[in-house]
Amino acid sequence: MPEYCVTGGTGFIAAYLIKSLLDKGHTVRATVRDPGDSEKVGFLREFNGAKERLKILKADLLVEGSFDEAIQGVDGVFHTASPVIVSYDDNVQATLIDPCIKGTLNVLSSCTKATSVKRVVLTSSCSSIRYRYDVQQVCPLNESHWSDTDYCKRYNLWYAYAKTIGETEAWRIAKESGIDLVVVNPSFVVGPLLAPQPTSTLHLILSIVKGSLGQYPNTTVGFVHIDDVIAAHILAMEDSRASGRLVCSSSVAHWSEIIEMLRAKYPSYPYENKCSSQEGDNNPHSMDTTKITQLGFPPFRTLEQMFDDCIKSFQDKGFL
């Protein structure tokens, strides 16, 4: 049974991935910034099989060599660790761009040292695909499309900028060092809460439903259920036919449409009713998932399913 390393263990995707791998009987090494922070990390130790088969190790995206120990001897690495920041402060370079780009370099450099690693699966994003001046002309967007970093800079889309450069660098290193790299490009990930507190993407949904943000994002984006994202990562690791990039996205919608859908079903919440004036992120587009479907991937779950699961978990955990 292969042993895997998952970076950024407390993240939304990483935590689900660890749970799923443990459920399948794998031994897992998870990296976190502070293994001693039981408030943040404790829930990982509760997973079935965690006692016997989960090791939690300290690693920092910005520290060279800090992933060596976690990666040495494993068969595959899922590099999911990357900051997701929904609101930007002044120091976007230090909080977002450096961890995303330097982190990718550090993790892949540890992978090149570990002869045991057969494949690396990187969690990128549709953000490294869909930000372009000609987005409507080239739709539907597929794995061959890349975001334009000048476009990202012009509209202050720093998350997309970091993800695009981070992924480009990952492909460069993989090519130079002969790493078998497969990249999953999920859109906006939605689903039930697993950690004790909502991570940034779920926090955004919660704030929109509670009307505590002041406005909702002027964003047209693909959404995808967390279960589909996890299945895509496991397929990317385990299916020898998987290669290159894999778009992982269900329906595309504007946040105003999501609010409308939720309001019809859960009318008692206040919801945001003012749209942000931000530009550059509201281009209608569509995502082509032919490539992953041809590998036998089942139909993606619907917007209704993913948001129902998300709202229900907020209710169950007392956030709504």
pLDDT by residue, tens only, the chain of 320 residues: 999 999 999 999 999 999 999 999 999 999 999 998 888 899 999 999 999 999 999 999 888 899 999 999 999 999 998 766 555 556 777 777 777 788 888 999 999 999 999 999 999 999 999 999 999 999 999 999 999 999 999 999 988 998 999 999 999 999 999 999 999 999 999 999 999 999 888 999 999 999 999 999 999 999 999 999 999 999 999 999 999 999 999 999 999 999 999 999 999 999 999 999 999 999 999 999 999 999 999 999 999 999 999 999 999 999 99
In this prediction, residue 84 carries a pLDDT of 62
Tell me the residue type at 246. Answer: L
Q: Express each pLDDT in 247-266 by its tens digit.
A: 999 999 999 999 999 999 99
Q: Answer for the pair 61, 109: CB distance below 8 angstroms, yes or no.
A: no
Q: Answer for the pair 67, 78: CB distance below 8 angstroms, yes or no.
A: no
The sign of the torsion formed by the CA atoms of 10, 27, 238, 31 equals: positive
In this prediction, residue 87 carries a pLDDT of 52
Q: Could you tell me whether strands 244-248 and 252-254 are parallel, antiparallel, or unpaired per DSSP bridges?
A: unpaired
Task: Note the maximum CA span of the chain.
Answer: 56
Coil, strand, or helix at residue 129?
coil
In this prediction, residue 85 carries a pLDDT of 56
What is the second-level CATH architecture of the domain 3-192+223-250+286-300?
Answer: 3-Layer(aba) Sandwich (3.40)
Please state, in angstroms and rounded to a whole number, the distance separating the CA atoms of residues 48 and 50. Answer: 6
In this prediction, residue 249 carries a pLDDT of 98
Please state, in angstroms and rounded to a whole number, the distance separating the CA atoms of residues 268 and 211. Answer: 12
Tell me the residue type at 47. Answer: F
